[in-house]
């Protein structure tokens, strides 16, 4: 049976994300409820990042690939200062409806951060289920760029389809061979850690196909 949450190569442009925007939250929730790839553990990924940010009473937060604002809207309502980057105009407008005073930019982060954020610094930079659209080399370079925008003691929190080792990724790929998305490049933490040149890092596994990479300045 075709996986309804597997958007395949056609999801790599903003038009297709725009078309998906209205059903995004419900679609992800259905997949998570089935404990299925790619969104098993999705809610706990968001909760972990929320709790990590919420441990600091006041913070500047940048969300990379904010989508419909599911994560940062929680923090926005509690007074955290929110900035964000997403390449879907429709998802950006949905998020603006939830966070009208946030600084949200419709921009393709595969080209780096928008000029408007060149001099900005953040206590937390988070990204959920977005950076798998970058190659491994692009991820490493982008994380390096993001680390330059951290305040002292700041953290980058990346939640995604992610694995501690290549063997774990291969096992998940074999399990979901019929629906595996070959066009997405998932995190393998021990390989990412080898290539990172900024700060300390750790990996928190969340489900059989989800985890969080934490990079600290």
Domain presence at residue 2:
no
Q: What is the DSSP letter of 141?
A: H
The pLDDT value given to residue 28: 74
Strands (E), 118-186: 122-128, 150-160, 162-163
Domain presence at residue 4:
no
Host H or E run for residue 189:
helix 189-195
The pLDDT value given to residue 34: 84
> Total structural domains in the chain?
1
Residues of the chain short of pLDDT 70, as ranges, are 1-27, 29, 198
Cα distance between residue 41 and residue 209, in whole Å:
8
Which tens digit of pLDDT belongs to each residue from 178-216?
A: 999 999 999 999 999 998 876 799 999 999 999 999 999
Cα distance between residue 111 and residue 109, in whole Å:
5
The pLDDT value given to residue 164: 97
The pLDDT value given to residue 32: 77
The pLDDT value given to residue 21: 44
Domain presence at residue 6:
no
Domain of 93 in residue numbering reads as 11-110+117-216
Domain presence at residue 125:
yes
Judged on CB neighbours under 10 Å (0-12, 13-18, 19+), 74 is: middle
The pLDDT value given to residue 25: 61
The pLDDT value given to residue 198: 61
The pLDDT value given to residue 5: 36
The pLDDT value given to residue 17: 40
Tell me, what CATH number does 15's domain have?
3.40.50.150
């Amino acid at each position: 049976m075709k996986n309804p949450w597997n958007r395949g190569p056609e999801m790599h442009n903003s038009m297709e994300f725009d078309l998906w925007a209205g059903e995004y939250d419900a679609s992800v929730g259905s997949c998570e409820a089935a404990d299925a790839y790619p969104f098993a553990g999705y809610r706990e990924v968001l909760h972990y990042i929320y709790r990590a940010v919420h441990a600091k009473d006041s913070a500047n937060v940048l969300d990379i690939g904010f989508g419909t604002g599911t994560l940062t809207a929680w923090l926005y309502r509690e007074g955290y200062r929110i900035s964000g980057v997403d390449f879907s105009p429709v998802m950006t407008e949905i998020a603006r409806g939830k966070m009208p005073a946030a600084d949200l930019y419709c921009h393709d982060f595969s080209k780096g951060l928008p000029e408007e954020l060149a001099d900005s610094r953040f206590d937390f930079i988070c990204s959920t289920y977005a950076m798998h659209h970058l190659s491994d080399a692009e991820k490493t370079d982008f994380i390096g760029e993001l680390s330059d925008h951290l305040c002292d003691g700041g953290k980058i929190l990346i939640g995604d389809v992610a694995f501690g080792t290549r063997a774990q990724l291969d096992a998940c790929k074999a399990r979901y061979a019929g629906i595996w998305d070959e066009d997405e490049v998932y995190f393998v933490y021990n390989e990412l850690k080898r290539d990172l040149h900024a700060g300390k890092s750790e990996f928190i596994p969340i489900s059989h196909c989800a985890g969080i990479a934490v990079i600290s300045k």
